[in-house]
Amino acid sequence: MELRGFGVMATEYVGRNGNRYIRLSGYPGIRRYLNATRYLIDNQRILDIGIGTRGIENGIIGGARFCIVFSAAYRAVELLLKDEYGLNDFFVNLTMDMAKLAVSVGIAWGAKTIATSLMITGGSVIAIAGGIFLLGLGISYGLYWLDSE
């Protein structure tokens, strides 16, 4: 759906052999990176661009990995530089960060399902992206408030 503005239409379908594919149609001159007409849904080029459900899932997983590494690094620096911050605080904060991440990933997975169904029914991609951004902002604020309480 995002490529429609460039004259390229990407549709997801199930082939005769049961594999899921992405079919690209439209003006081939625009498709420099994706130059074939069909790709398996788990093709690395499709995953890099984020087309299809696997692309969205790949983005969620990549974001979760980044959060784990960033949280561990931030808490380690906090352990080294703060005076009244012990090893117990380090592990408690790291565990709470992972719990918040688990809740966020679960909600993102549900939002992915809803967003995919809205895109299939013809919803505006910008409106869907804005709604997911606002949902993420609300969830982040809610988790921050719960953690501070």
What proportions of the chain, in percent to the nearest 5, are helix, strand and coil? Answer: 65, 10, 20
Average pLDDT (73-79) is 92
Backbone angles phi, psi at 13, to 5 degrees: -150, 165
CA distance readout (Å), 126 to 29, 34, 111 = 25, 23, 15
137, pLDDT greater than 80 = yes
69 has pLDDT over 90? yes
**Structure tokens, 74:** 């931030």
Rounded mean pLDDT, 77-94: 90
Query: Are the C-beta atoms of residues 40 and 24 closer than 8 Å to each other?
Result: no
Residue 5 CB: number of other CB atoms within 10 A? 8
pLDDT at res. 133: 82
Q: Are 111 and 132 in contact (CB under 8 A)?
A: yes
> What per-residue confidence (pLDDT) applies to 65?
92
What average pLDDT does the chain have?
78
Long-range contacts from 70-78, C-beta under 8 angstroms, 24+ separation: 71/97, 71/98, 71/101
Q: How far apart are CA 33 and CA 35, in angstroms?
A: 6
Say what the pTM is: 0.61
